[in-house]
Structure 1
């Protein structure tokens, strides 16, 4: 019984290390080869329970991850290989109009596309200048000029053009933001140590 525990602990550790080496993408951001490798790793590591042997299991898992690393390297260096192995973005909306043939090719219904639009906060198909289904299944888009939100840069430009008497607009600088701890490797003093 203890041997099963230690073997399980070993495989959980090895699986974690191998997946860590494999990358940080979530399932929705994975390419087809990455997802296939992750599923295969789960099968391999789970197959150990049926008595395949520790050494063989680790070797097979490492082989799959090696394949993934080589695949990623190849796709970084050759565009054709990237298109063949990972796919490419397919436009589904152009100038506010659905590209029905591309939707059929992707087997995406209009209802599914509308769900993706709603999840991005887009109310109307007509407001989308270009909409794509990316190779990882995510929806990419660019809004029509009339539907784009105003940025701080746009607002500052409008104020400077319409109110020239305002020379310097005060910028709200907040040094206490969540990115500071990542860039400076220091934590906020307001958070207890055990939660860092």
Structure 2
């Protein structure tokens, strides 16, 4: 382990410039490995579950880079978090109650041109937010919507009425 401390420096926040650079290179590849382990969906279609993991991973890597925490324990805890994320993600594919708890459930906001006010209140969506979501799906009027749903990731998906 002495060789590692020679490369990355001490954990008291006083590494040399070369040791900070070595930490940066190691943590860059470590971060890439964590993303590969966690899977593509972790950093693409972000759910609240994925966002929390991404923030913690970034924070842990940042602190390890600046030498504010012990290097190897920080890497170990970050890897554990990523592996737990992956295991929970795999479990949510097989067990719907866990998926609903971790990822939430989609909710219909508009059905056949009728807004569900309770659903909008429950998800803190204003009429302006709803209209923005519709416009982003190339729909101008609520009457033109067969179905609008707030998906688990927070995006509003829209199925337009047939012409």
Counterpart for residue 71 of structure 1? 88
Q: Is the 8 Å Cα contact of residues 29 and 138 (structure 1) preserved in structure 2?
A: no
Q: Which residue of 2 aligns with 1:188?
A: none
Contact 1:37 1:64 in 2 (8 A): yes
Superposed CA RMSD: 1.4
Per-residue CA deviation, residues 66-90 of structure 1 (Å, 9 max, x unaligned), is 1111111110111111101100101
Match for residue 34 of structure 1?
A: 50
Matched, 1:12 2:12: no
Is 1:60 the counterpart of 2:62? The answer is no
The equivalent position to 2:159 in structure 1, one of 112, 129, 142, is: 142
Runs of 4+ more than 4 Å apart? none
Unmatched segments (≥5 aa) in structure 2: 1-16
Q: Which has the larger radius of gyration?
A: 1
3-state SS of 1:141 partner = strand
Deviations 1:19-44 (A, max 9, x none): 13222237572122111110000111
What SS class does the counterpart of residue 72 from structure 2 fall into? helix
Distance in 2, matches of 1:118 and 1:139, equals 10
Structure 1 unmatched ranges of 5 or more: 147-196
Structure-2 residue corresponding to 1:84? 101
Q: Corresponding residue for 2:13?
A: none
Q: Which residue is 1:100 aligned to?
A: 117
